[in-house]
Amino acid sequence: MLVAYLRRLGVRIEVETMSTVTSVVVTGIFLGATLAVLLPFVRFEVATFFAVFMLGIYVALLKRDVIKVILGILLSANALYPALALLELPFSIYLVFDVTEILVTLVMLWVALLIKERYGALDGWKANLLRW
Amino acid sequence: MEEAAYLPLVLILTPAVAGCLAPLIGKVSEKGRDAFSVLMETLTLLIAVYAAYVCFSGVAGGVGIWDFALDRLSALIALRVTILGFAATLYSIHYISEEPHLNRYYACLHFFVAGMLGMVLTQNVAFMYVFLEIMTVASCVLVAHRTYKEAAEAGYKYIVLCTIGALFVLLGVALTYQHFGTLSLVAVEKLAAADGVVPMFIALSIIFGFGLKAGMVPLHAWLPDAHAEAPSSISCLLSGAMIHTAAYAMAKVLFSLFAAEAFGMIGLLLVSFGVLSMIVGTMLALVQTDMKRLLAYSSVDQMGFILLGFGLGSVLGAIGAAYHILSHCLGKGLLFLSAGAVIKATGTRNFRELGGLSSKMPVTAVVSMIAALSLSGVPPFSGFISEFLICKAAFEAGHPILVLIMLIVSVTTLAYLLRFLHATFFGEPNGRSETAKEAPASMLVPMVILAALCILFGIFPTPVIEFVRVACATLLGGA
């Protein structure tokens, strides 16, 4: 449904570019997350989820399509929920977390559509009027 | 005192209920909605004053129920949020009256205040994350409220970066529960050392998550855009209340999880980020010609003082930071409100296009000057007391170089604020200034109240210092 909706909005082709600084930062983040899983001296119980979490952050920082940025953030959030489930928190906490996440996603979509409306595309990098 | 246990909940629920009802009332009567909004924020302020009184009259340890508690420090921080919430709502009545979507605006404004109060008053890190997200969602809608190109961009940057920050807080929550077996900051047993991977990850997640929300350099990219593009009443809350709430939450979690012995490395991180924020914020503020962006970068540099105060890990440093939260909240909130009045009267944010407004807007000029002097740490205003306390704490901790940096930053702050005020209010009036009129009473009253508080807390600092001393000592647990 989301794909069909995006096609209706005219989102078909996307060209991804990024600066050297961003590349170095996201590569560093991703390597850090990988090390957290692989190396015995930094490994901890929720490290696998942490790696997926960092992958989501990587996607959010790398992608210029606002919908993909939102999906990256959701990927990060969804990586944390299984980790939280492992910890056997009170059920009400999960419920509150879920409602909060839905609310955040709705507002992110509202802003994404605002970007599409004002800039004529879902390209987040076109929204660059504000600098320093 | 049993009824007092419900005070934190009542304090959070009052603006939350207002947020639910304001749009419904707005469908029937716009004036009714405005009056209701002011009434509910006044009620919240009165409850916060009563809560502070309850804490002041002997309940140093705090009162509360269900992981929501009120101690002296949180009472002070909550009081400051409600003062600005009241000021922003009263100011909004005239300031934003001609704009569309006001039901949404007032609903989000109340939820924003409720989110901040929730963050301050909860003792549970999971609830803290939830209130952080409520605060982010409500404030994002307010930042993008005007929906023009720049507002949409600012809202987009804000929601993406702050949600990433909130996710780091959630990661910290998961790791905290895994390591400590509880989410309650009261029940947690402090760590004597921050060695090992998990404690360091917890500390870094919390610093990164809350630091992003607090506008700490290098995580401040969203701040100047959001503060500049939001309506001035909201900039006042963002800069005067929200970023400090995040800084306070960060300090509260870190001080609750780590004992004095374990705080060395974490404190060093906070001090480093604080110094970086001061230097970068000041340098960027110096080159601005947009008054709201100048004030936004000024918030970044003032956040540096607060981080430095907390990072020193001493009771005096924490008191200084708490006092600076109060004085910056009053000063910066006031400057954003007066900037809003100037923008509404002249139609420009570029202060180079202005001049000679002091004769047209004398009250706005005087209160702006008071706020600028307070923020720059000039006696007898409240900013002087807080900056003096932080400087003293740094000196006592054996860091004279930090004192020197703070003095230089204070002088530079005075320089860029005076440059802004001189260009706006003094000199020859130009085209835009000639037609300007003084703001109406509903906008002036909150500004005058904040200016009076800047002077009051500067002349009589002792009650506030005594008020937070015990709470800071308890929070630091001898750190």
pLDDT digits (tens, 9 = 90+) for B259-290: 777 777 888 999 999 999 999 999 999 998 89
Residue percentage of chain B with pLDDT more than 90:
53
Average per-residue pLDDT in chain B?
88
C-beta separation of B109 from B142 below 8 A: yes
Q: Which domain holds residue A33?
A: 19-126
C-beta separation of B377 from B387 below 8 A: yes
| More reliable by pLDDT, B8 or B197 | B8
Instruction: Please check whether residue A13 lies inside any domain of the structure.
Output: no
CB contact under 8 A, A87 and B178: yes
Residue B265's pLDDT is 83
DSSP-assigned letters across all residues of B222-268 = HHHHHHHHS-HHHHHHIIIIIHHHHHHHHHHHHHHHB-GGGHHHHHH
Residue B293's pLDDT is 92
- 3 state DSSP class of A65: strand
Instruction: Please check whether residue A43 lies inside any domain of the structure.
Output: yes
Instruction: Please check whether residue A132 lies inside any domain of the structure.
Output: no
Burial, A28: exposed, middle or buried (Cβ in 10 Å; 0-12, 13-18, 19+)? exposed
CA B180 to chain A, closest CA, distance in angstroms equals 11
Instruction: Please check whether residue A6 lies inside any domain of the structure.
Output: no
Instruction: Please check whether residue A64 lies inside any domain of the structure.
Output: yes
Residue B68's pLDDT is 85
pLDDT tens digits for B292-339?
A: 999 999 999 999 999 999 998 888 998 999 899 989 999 999 999 999
Q: Which domain holds residue B63?
A: 3-476
Residues B183, B186: Cα–Cα separation, whole Å: 9
- B122: left (phi > 0), else alpha (psi -120 to 50), else beta? beta
What are the φ/ψ torsions at residue B65 (nearest 5 degrees)?
Answer: -155, 150
CB contact under 8 A, B177 and A110: no
Nearest CA in chain B to A84: B174
A42 CB neighbours in chain B (<8 A) are: 197
Of A60, A96, A117, the CB nearest to B164: A60
CA B255 to chain A, closest CA, distance in angstroms equals 23
CA A130 to chain B, closest CA, distance in angstroms equals 7
Q: Give the position of tokens 């860091």.
A: B399
| More reliable by pLDDT, A17 or B371 | B371
Q: What is the value of pTM for the model shown? A: 0.89
Residues B72, B466: Cα–Cα separation, whole Å: 10
Instruction: Please check whether residue A9 lies inside any domain of the structure.
Output: no
CB contact under 8 A, B167 and A73: yes
Of B153, B183, B224, the CB nearest to A127: B153
pLDDT tens digits for B192-224?
A: 665 667 788 888 899 999 999 999 988 888 899
Q: Of A19-28, B42-51, B277-286, B439-448, where does mean pLDDT reach its minimum?
A: A19-28
B126 CB neighbours in chain A (<8 A) are: 89, 93, 96-97
C-beta separation of B190 from B477 below 8 A: yes
- Counting every residue written for chain B, the total comes to 479
CB contact under 8 A, A115 and B152: yes
Residue B86's pLDDT is 94
Instruction: Please check whether residue A58 lies inside any domain of the structure.
Output: yes
Confidence of residue B162 (pLDDT cuts 50, 70, 90): very high
Residue A37's pLDDT is 62
Instruction: Please check whether residue A24 lies inside any domain of the structure.
Output: yes
Residue A17's pLDDT is 52
- The DSSP output letter for B122 is B
Residue A6's pLDDT is 58
Q: Give the position of tokens 């001609």.
A: B98
Q: Of A32-46, B34-48, B385-399, where does mean pLDDT reach its minimum?
A: A32-46
Nearest CA in chain B to A63: B160
Q: Domain count of chain A?
A: 1
| More reliable by pLDDT, A107 or A61 | A107
CA B225 to chain A, closest CA, distance in angstroms equals 7
- The DSSP output letter for A125 is G
Question: Does residue B218 have a cis peptide bond before it, meaning omega lies within 30 degrees of 0?
Answer: yes
Residue B194's pLDDT is 59
AA letter at B335? L
Mutate to test the interface with A, among B125, B149, B168 (most CBs of A within 10 A): B149
Average pLDDT in the B149-166 region?
Answer: 92
Burial, B7: exposed, middle or buried (Cβ in 10 Å; 0-12, 13-18, 19+)? buried
CA torsion angle B210 B324 B252 B218 (round to 10): 20
Of A50, A84, A111, the CB nearest to B140: A111
Residue B465's pLDDT is 85
Residue A20's pLDDT is 64
Mutate to test the interface with A, among B134, B147, B156 (most CBs of A within 10 A): B156
C-beta separation of B355 from B430 below 8 A: yes
Q: Domain count of chain B?
A: 1
From residue B337, give the alpha-carbon distance in Å to each of A1, B244, B264, B365: 45, 18, 39, 12
Confidence of residue B478 (pLDDT cuts 50, 70, 90): very low
Please tell me if residue B28 touches chain A, with a CB cutoff of 8 Å: no
Please tell me if residue B217 touches chain A, with a CB cutoff of 8 Å: no
Confidence of residue B71 (pLDDT cuts 50, 70, 90): confident
Confidence of residue B479 (pLDDT cuts 50, 70, 90): very low
C-beta separation of B336 from B90 below 8 A: no
